[in-house]
Amino acid sequence: MSSPTPDVPASESREARTRQMLGMKGADVQGASIWKIRLQLMKPITWIPLMWGVLCGAASSGDFTWSIENVMRSLLCMLMSGPLLTGYTQTINDYYDREIDAINEPYRPIPSGAIPLNQVIAQIWILLLGGIGVAAILDITAGHGDFIITKLAIGGSFLAYIYSAPPLKLKQNGWLGNYALGASYIALPWWAGHALYGTLNWTVVAVTLFYSLAGLGIAVVNDFKSVEGDRELGLQSLPVMFGVQKAALLSATAIDVFQIGIAVYLVTVGQQLLASLIVLLVIPQITFQDMYFLRDPLKNDVKYQASAQPFLVIGMLVAGIAMGNAGI
């Protein structure tokens, strides 16, 4: 049986197609259809944390029950948080990062010329309006007179815009930009999931914003692939500001310390068992940080995220369950 392309093993061709479809680092658009290119702009691999965050928020509300209606509403909220609004965020980020990508990842859809800019702009608007529309439907079905989920969707979308677009372009500031990204990945979908089944309160807001400091550490990991372009264009990412090794240590420390901080908080509200489980989940994270990330963050960033982040996201769900049990 012949290979899909000359001199390219079938396994490598399948891997290339998978990376392209998921929007992963190293993905190539050569020969891809326009719909696959659109999907790549939306980076499906990044939807998962947001969709998981909705589940954590539902758990922290303490009011989720396994009825068909609640499951369908959760799936609709995940559609809003993941494919629609995260897809919008990733597409608009690629639009405004096209000059940096021309240096770091010239094979990406926009700098490679695989998709015209006017089609990228249309995709941004369709995803944004679709996400806000789904948020309004969720509010109506939940009986929210204040349209809290719609407000969260609009606020999160605005945050995504100022993160990527001038003149603010928050991502130019390593600390502020990465915290905004961390909060978008942890706090915002958590709030939406919580509000869908319970009443969003300031304690939940404060705890998840604290948790987002661990997300700041995760966000820093994404900066290592862009060091060359960031430095050339004057963007102050943490690897540019502190150097690669020191930024890697800061990233790992933030991820571990703030998770342990959440565990300490859970002990104070009587959730000792689940707090202990979070601490146990941090241990393999530290192991993988030492094995991969701290030794060579430029080479091992993807491998590190694949091996260590599952323990972070499981810990998030444990924290959500603990908060629901404690009636927070």
Tens place of pLDDT per residue across the chain (328 aa):
333 434 445 544 555 555 545 555 556 556 678 999 999 999 998 899 999 999 999 999 999 999 999 999 999 999 999 999 999 999 999 999 999 888 888 888 999 999 999 999 999 999 999 999 999 999 999 999 999 999 999 999 999 999 999 999 998 888 899 999 999 999 999 999 999 999 999 999 999 999 999 999 988 888 887 787 778 777 788 888 999 999 999 999 999 999 999 999 999 999 999 999 999 999 999 999 999 999 998 888 888 888 998 999 999 999 999 999 999 8
Task: Give 25-326's CATH code, choosing from 3.40.50, 1.10.10, 1.10.1060, 1.10.600.
Answer: 1.10.600
Is residue 239 reached through a cis peptide bond, with omega within 30 degrees of 0 on the bond before it?
Answer: no
Q: Determine contact, residues 281/311, Cβ cutoff 8 Å.
A: yes
Beta bridge partners of 173: 236
Kindly report the pTM of this predicted structure: 0.88
Concatenated DSSP letters for 280-307? Answer: HHHHHHHHHIIIIITT-HHHHHHHHHHH
Instruction: For residue 301, count other CB atoms closer than 10 A to its CB.
Output: 21
**Residue 246: both structure tokens together:** 């020191």
- State the DSSP string of 71-137: HHHHHHHHHIIIIIHHHHHHHHHHHHTHHHHHHH-TTSTTTTTSS-HHHHHHHHHHHHHHHHHHHHH
